Structure 1
Amino acid sequence: MGTQDHGGTGSPGRTRTFGIEEELLLVDPGKGEPVPMAGALLDLYVRPMDSGSGPVLTAEFQQEMIEVVTPPHPTMASLEADIIAGRAIADRAAQDVGVRAAALGTSPLPCDPHPVRLRRFAAMAEEYGLTAREQLTCGCHIHVSVASAEEGVAVLDRIRVWLPVLIALSANSPFWHGEDTGYASYRSQVWSRWPTAGPLEILGSPDAYHQLVHDMVSTGVALDEGMIYFDARLSRHYPTVEIRIADVCLRPWNTVLLAGIARGLVETAAREWRAGIEPPAVPTTLLRLAGWKASRWGLRGELLDPHTHRPVPALAVVNSLVHHIHEALEDIGDLQRVEELVDDLLKAGTGAVRQLEVLHRTGDLEDVVDDAANCTLWAPNR
């Protein structure tokens, strides 16, 4: 996972920093298939001397993917610049070894992935069987700074009802092993195979959070704390909340939108906690259903309303989310940019919509991958 310092402050009156980890597929530019070139790419890649000065590339679980990690940023504009730069660095490095980097949540074409040759990954492959062997999925992880573990757990307790909406906004994985799955985010379905993945219950305190993690590792089902795959969790290495539920987004400005929304959610939740507002007491089972609904339809159908847990049009839920974080976004200075990017997304559609449109137009999954590699580097002309 990411290796850069995502430190920062979530103290009242100070702007929270935020950063991104994006997983990208390495694909054959002619055939569109994922190729195990991460080792060769990283052998040639020259990491910046000061890794805090810009995005860096790291290895991930499978050799068919790499991760782009940004340092923490105080503004959406500076983070957007690094997201665009990081994707460009990744694609240049990929082309140096004869492949492309593509922001795809799953591979449209069939693939038999190859785990990176590390002892931990070998143990995971042995323990989890087909779940590990087939786990070639690319997500987007957003780190938002918090002032303390107490604030971090308070945030986790209060953002949980909104996290399924991020699946719908980021949906970018309609294909699996060469087939149209019928899901906007099939990555979410594949990821849910891990026994530790999914939404958290309300915990109320850092002690309760850490006790739960300890108990999960003590079962032996999770090999270590790194395998605690909650939809959102306290980072083990940085003073941040890490929101892990989203697909990697096809276009960079989609990632910027997710980051802006995530910071707005964290700031809103922290304000509610300081004001003594209790978190919504929604059963974890209902959150799983909300996540499934978002995974199935993305923005092209109904989602579960976070307040009523009844199906309503996706647009109504997106508007409700923006309304929920409106005050925080306005105070931070992100409101106009977030609203612009929401409008852009609703007009252009998610990555899943784009992938399906390319397939319907060309009839060829190779063209879907080629288009995705180009969209990975595209940014709005602003």
Structure 2
Amino acid sequence: MSELLTIGVEEEFFVIDPRNRRPVNDITALLESAHGISDGSDSYSAELRTCMVESKTGVCRTLTEVRDQVGRLRSGLARAAAETGTRIAAAGTFPLADWRHQDFDTQPRTKFIVDRYARMARTHVMCACQVHVGVADPDTRIQVMNRVRPWLPLLSALSASSPFWMGEDTGYASYRSTVWQSWPMGGIPPTFGSDKEYRERMRTLVATDIIADIGQIYWDVRPGTNYDTVEFRPADACTTVDDTVLQAALCRALVLHALGELDRGAQALDVRDEVLRAAKWRAARYGLAADLLDPLAAELVPAGALIDRMLRMLRPALEDVGDWDEVIHLIDRKKVDGTSAERQRAIVTGGGTVEDVADLLVRQTVSHQQGGVRVDE
């Protein structure tokens, strides 16, 4: 079963002018340089806003491959940025970004989004990390989606990296998550009985002009639109490579656990929608810095205790694919270092400025571990 569980990761980055620490409005030169570094492959592409760029790994089968590819792609993008006088930064929001000064790309699909969603789209200057886990059968993908829903808020909390918006502290660890909740197809999805039901309901949304195509389903988990995968989307852009690797490991383990339940004929646990929505809100509000809502038990528990509950559940799956030791190491570091949102806030509460936060994000985006030694690009 684990042989099917390949991983692919998509990461979004802000492109920053180091002179004023603001996002740029043209990444054409950066993309040309990045494509040259990657031998013209499709590893890098433009995003919705002209201040953003996306990287895509190939198909990975181990966490080592994920770490190597994510690190290599970040290093290549950082070199391309340096060649063009810019920098890259990974965070759900960038503290000095101002949506009023950021342009959109010129694709027809983007025009539909801006016209249809109006100010909601115009203010959207945010980056995310998506993890694809390979699942071949369409109906199985739907059943996996139904079963991983209770853990999507915790994935969001672990990745929280968007406390600042237009120079101000929002009070949220993942402000990006709260904004996505307002989109018609954002947040945690409903459950579906089959792939056929899912497709029929999506056709209704297209037919009624709510979305232009099925790719505009922005739920925290969905069937992959271009690949035979379950695609996880709750995470803010992960500031560090470690955070990305942790997301990839947990997403694959959740899928493997769900597949095991399906093989055993175990019933999916019933989680009330209002409890799940509340859990997602609390994860966005506090990240790991306060008690979180366990949707299965419908009770508040310390964030560390909720992480431990998830790890107890996922241990067989993590051991099955050889990821247990690395995940425990990454979780232990997370409990000490905190989320990116906590690290960003610590700069300001310690007397620093949002400009200092911007510098921190740039540094940590291109800093990664190789063989236990930290490497700074």
Instruction: Give the structure-1-normalised TM-score.
Output: 0.93
- Superposed counterparts of 1:69-84, under 5 Å: 69-84=56-71
SS at match of 2:93: coil
Partner of 2:350: 361
CA contact (8 A) 1:37 1:97 kept: no
Q: Quick check: 2:34–2:77 contact (8 Å CA) kept in 1?
A: no
Instruction: Give the alignment of 1:33-72 within 5 angstroms.
Output: 33-46=22-35, 48-49=38-39, 51=41, 56-72=43-59
Question: Which of 239, 243, 248 lines up with 1:250 in the alignment?
Answer: 239
Paired letter, 1:260: A
Of 91-100 and 35-44, the range deviating more from structure 2: 35-44
Pair 1:87 & 2:77 matched:
no
2:113 to 104, 121, 124: 124
Contact 1:157-1:202 within 8 A present in 2 as well: yes
Distance 2:39 2:164 in 1: 39
Partner residue, 1:3: none
Provide the aligned C-alpha RMSD in A. Answer: 1.5
Deviation at 1:380, TM superposition (A): 3.2
Q: Tell me which residue corresponds to 1:21.
A: 10
Please point out which of 284, 295, 303 is paired with 1:295. Answer: 284
| Inter-partner Cα distance in structure 2 for 1:362 and 1:377 | 24
Query: 1:104 corresponds to which residue?
Result: 91
Report SS of the residue matched to 1:324.
Answer: helix
1:187 is aligned to 176
Counterpart residue identity of residue 42, structure 1:
L
Question: Compared with structure 1, are the counterparts of its residues 260 and 13 closer, same or farther at alpha carbon in structure 2 (3 Å cutoff)?
Answer: closer
What SS does the corresponding residue of 2:150 show, helix, strand or coil? Answer: coil
Residue identity in the other structure for 1:115? F
Distance 2:297 2:31 in 1: 48
Q: What do residues 182-237 of structure 1 show as CA deviations (whole Å, max 9, x unaligned)?
A: 00000101222211111122212111111121122222111221111111000111
Q: State the AA in 1 paired with 2:234.
A: I
Question: In structure 2, what residue type is equivalent to 1:80?
Answer: R
The residue aligned with 2:253 is: 264
Match for 1:101: what amino acid?
A: I
| Residues 324-333 or 273-282, more deviating | 273-282
Aligned mate of 2:136, from 116, 122, 147: 147
Shift of 1:323: 1.0
Residue identity opposite 1:85 in structure 2: R
- Residue 13 to residue 371, structure 1, CA distance change in 2 (3 Å): closer
Shift of the alpha carbon at 1:310?
1.6
Q: Which residue of the other structure, out of 314, 318, 322, is the alignment partner of 1:325?
A: 314
Written as runs of structure 1 = structure 2, the 5 A alignment for 1:213-228 is 213-228=202-217
Hey, what does 2:157 align to over in structure 1? 168
Cα pair 2:96 2:165 within 8 Å, conserved: yes
1:6 aligned partner: none
Partner of 1:274: 263
One of 356, 362, 367 as aligned partner of 1:373 = 362
Aligned partner of 2:225 in structure 1 is: 236
Q: 1:313 aligns with which of 277, 299, 302?
A: 302
- The amino acid that maps onto 1:333 is G
Counterpart of 1:160 in 2: which secondary structure? helix
Q: 2:4 touches 2:135 (CA, 8 Å); kept in 1?
A: no
State how many pairs are aligned.
368
Counterpart Cα distance in 2 of 1:335 and 1:275: 23
Of all paired residues, the percent bearing the same amino acid is 38
Q: Judge conservation of contact 1:200–1:284 (CA < 8 Å) in 2.
A: no
CA distance in structure 2 between the aligned counterparts of 1:273 and 1:197, rounded to whole angstroms: 27
C-alpha separation between the residues in 2 aligned to 1:373 and 1:322?
31
CA distance in 2, matches of 1:306, 1:268: 17
Alignment of 1:343-354 (within 5 A): 343-354=332-343
Give the structure 1 partner of residue 375 of structure 2: none
Rounded to whole Å, the distance in 1 between the matches of 2:312 and 2:197 is: 31
Structure 2 counterpart SS, 1:22: strand
Please state how far the C-alpha of 1:362 moved relative to its aligned partner: 4.2
Relative to structure 1, the CA distance from residue 13 to residue 297 in structure 2 (aligned partners, 3 Å threshold; closer, same or farther) is closer
For residues 357 and 258 of structure 1, the distance between their equivalents in structure 2, rounded to whole angstroms, comes to 23
Q: Distance in 2 between matches of 1:279 and 1:145?
A: 21
Equivalent residue of 2:71, what SS? helix
- Structure 1 spans left out of the alignment, 5+ residues: 1-11
Amino acid at match of 1:95: A
Structure 1 CA distance for aligned equivalents of residues 34 and 70 of structure 2: 18
Aligned to 1:311, what secondary structure does the other structure show? strand
TM score, norm. by length of structure 2? 0.94
